[in-house]
Amino acid sequence: MGYRWVILAAGTFAQSSFAAASVGLPALAPALRSHYALSLGRTGVVLAATGIGMLFTLLPWGLLADRFDERLVIATGLSGAGVVLVLCGTTTSFVSLTLALIGAGALGASVNAASGRAIMSWFGASELGLALGIRQTAIPIGGALGAGVLPVLASTGGTRLAFFVLGGSCMTGALVAATFIRPGRARVPELTDVTRPLHESRLWLRSPTAWARGCGRCARLASRSWLRPRQSQRSSTGRSRRSFLRSRSRACSAWRGTGSRPLQRRRRRERHGRALHSAYSRRCSASWLQGSHPCSLWSSAPPPGASHL
């Protein structure tokens, strides 16, 4: 498994070869302004052109890296970026230079999407953070090299020589990636067939709660599909769904009222008994205070409601 470090070195080198153009290009700003007679605003557009091209192609390059080999994606993208950077040295106008740099960024974005995936397939979980950290240092390393070398090249041979060197570095990175990067170990997917999830037995057995919830939703959908045709028939005869529900609720209320009459009579008797007991207690208290027997008071004046017993 020592070859994983070779993969890491190749991915880091390929990333740094393009970072020299994408990050180190601002070092050519004075030479670009004098060579193309650019204003300050146009100079900013030229320097941002590489990032604009990367913005729209990072996602497609990532999808291609998932579908095809990372080595093929990196080699194709960096080779195209190198060719376009060489063409940048032959441009003579602001528009042609900007379009060429946008194309270089769009093609060079392949290394950003595929190099990390190639490294992740070779390193385990215990070393993955270290490997990705080393690979990420390729961006400042390439930018620092570009910022240090490009002004010297521009002062020696102009912007033409500088763009030729940037194109050559991208082509070298593509050659290194095509030579040393290999597919990593195959990882066993968690689900064998994701195109037909209902045929995967582990999906059904993993969460009984979700399975029961799904069955309940299926039952609700089935009941709604059974009720809707009958509700439409009722609406065709002049009854809307709201009137049907209102009549049903009234029928239920009437049924509840009919069934609860014995209960109401029993509660009425209980309330009457409590009132009788309270009145008798007050009579007894008054008789004890007056010194008479409570039975005499009871016989002389029965409490209210006694005749109903």
Question: In which residue are the tokens 């299926």 written?
Answer: 218
**CB neighbour list of residue 99: distance below 8 Å, 6 or more residues apart:** 49
pLDDT for 15 equals 92
Q: How many CB atoms lie within 10 A of CB 287?
A: 16
Please tell me the distance from the alpha carbon of residue 87 to that of residue 273, in angstroms, as a whole number. Answer: 107
Which of the listed CATH numbers 2.40.10.10, 3.30.365.10, 1.20.1250.20, 3.40.50.720 matches domain 3-180? 1.20.1250.20
Q: Collapse the DSSP code of 215 into the 3-class scheme (helix H, G, I; strand E, B; otherwise coil) and give the result.
A: helix
Please tell me the distance from the alpha carbon of residue 72 to that of residue 132, in angstroms, as a whole number. Answer: 20
Q: How many CB atoms lie within 10 A of CB 5?
A: 13
Tell me what the mean pLDDT of segment 281-288 comes to. Answer: 70
Answer with the residue of higher pLDDT: 145 or 1: 145
Segment among 143-157, 166-180, 236-250 with least mean pLDDT: 236-250
Please tell me the distance from the alpha carbon of residue 128 to that of residue 7, in angstroms, as a whole number. Answer: 13
Q: How many CB atoms lie within 10 A of CB 158?
A: 14
154 neighbors 162 (Cβ within 8 angstroms): yes
Which tens digit of pLDDT belongs to each residue from 189-219?
445 555 555 555 555 555 566 666 666 666 6
Residue 127 predicted with pLDDT over 90? no
**CB neighbour list of residue 54: distance below 8 Å, 6 or more residues apart:** 22, 105, 106, 108, 109, 112
Helices 138-180/128-136 angle, 10° precision = 110
- Nearest CA-CA partner of 110 in 176, 193, 174, 34: 174
Give how far Cα 237 sits from Cα of 14, 233, 234, 241, 285, Å.
Answer: 76, 7, 5, 11, 70
pLDDT for 244 equals 62
- Nearest CA-CA partner of 28 in 141, 137, 122, 146: 146
* Domain spans of the chain, in order of start: 3-180, 270-309
Q: Which amino acid is at 16?
A: S
Q: Which amino acid is at 248?
A: R
Structure tokens at 300: 């002389």
154 neighbors 142 (Cβ within 8 angstroms): no
pLDDT for 192 equals 54
**CB neighbour list of residue 304: distance below 8 Å, 6 or more residues apart:** 275, 276, 279
Please tell me the distance from the alpha carbon of residue 198 to that of residue 182, in angstroms, as a whole number. Answer: 35
Q: How many CB atoms lie within 10 A of CB 147?
A: 16
pLDDT for 226 equals 56
Average pLDDT, the chain: 78
Band of pLDDT at residue 27, cut at 50, 70 and 90: very high
15 neighbors 118 (Cβ within 8 angstroms): no
pLDDT for 94 equals 93
Please tell me the distance from the alpha carbon of residue 112 to that of residue 15, in angstroms, as a whole number. Answer: 7
